[in-house]
Structure 1
Amino acid sequence: MLRDRGSIKWTAMMLPEQVKALRQFDWEQEKKVKPELDEQQLEMMEETICEAMEHHLELCFTYFDQEEFHLLIGKVHFVDVDKKELRILDFHGDVNRLKIRNLADVKIR
């Protein structure tokens, strides 16, 4: 049976600069990129949020923060147009502030 150790096997024969570059490359491969939303997607999310506020529905928010995607479920409590953020009341009763620019997706739950 072949048991390969991948890049670990070769690091003993590499220069320290090469090992550092290889680790940096691996780290950049795992890095997630914030998606750019077009106007149509933003409009659809806005309609979903307005409908949920009107009918007091729970929403499932997917947002991007600190190079990671996060999920938040709750009701929109307030839309702050000046700060461009949503205040979301989750099922614990906590109010979460979510920047509109960080939104990736909004769905009715």
Structure 2
Amino acid sequence: MKKIKDRGAKKWTAMMLTEHTAMLRQWPETDMNKEQKPKLDESQIREFEETIHYAMAFAYPIRLRCWIEGLIEEKAGRIHRLDEVGRWIYLKDGDDALARIRFADIIGVEIVNS
């Protein structure tokens, strides 16, 4: 009877690329940085809407703080268009790239002094 020579755990290590192991090490860190969405009252929301309309009317650059899937991101640019029915803001940044942002995701609005 011929004995089978098994490589043991070595045969499975070849399936893990260095990118995979790096991503697995970073994975718990990204989940730990997630935050709960801040609660906004109606006066804050009204103030955000007024600032957004003012910035659009006079073509001022604006900075939006957005809560997206547990992470807070800042987006800056000029408002290209508002979709009030779908509640979306189309923001054009310095590279003329359009970003689509939901009104519900906005947690801060600021007009940027240029």
Percent identity of paired positions between Structure 1 and Structure 2: 24
Distance of 1:85 and 1:54 partners within structure 2: 17
Counterpart Cα distance in 2 of 1:77 and 1:47: 16
Residue in 1 that maps onto 2:55: 52
What is the TM-score of this pair, normalised by structure 1? 0.71
Matches within 5 A, 1:45-84: 45-84=48-87
Q: Which residue of 2 aligns with 1:32?
A: 35
What do you get for the CA RMSD once the two structures are aligned? 1.9
Q: Which has the larger radius of gyration?
A: 2
In the alignment, is the contact (CA less than 8 A) between 2:90 and 2:99 conserved in 1?
A: yes
Normalized against structure 2, the TM-score is what? 0.68
Q: Deviations over 1:51-78 (max 9, x none)?
A: 1111110000000001100000011111
Residue 85 of structure 1 corresponds to 88
Alpha-carbon distance between aligned partners in 2 of 1:72 and 1:33, rounded to the nearest angstrom? 19
Asked if structure 1 preserves the Cα contact closer than 8 Å seen for 2:33 and 2:71, the reply is no
Q: Secondary structure at the match of 1:46?
A: helix
Given the alignment of the two structures, is residue 103 of structure 1 paired with residue 106 of structure 2, yes or no? yes
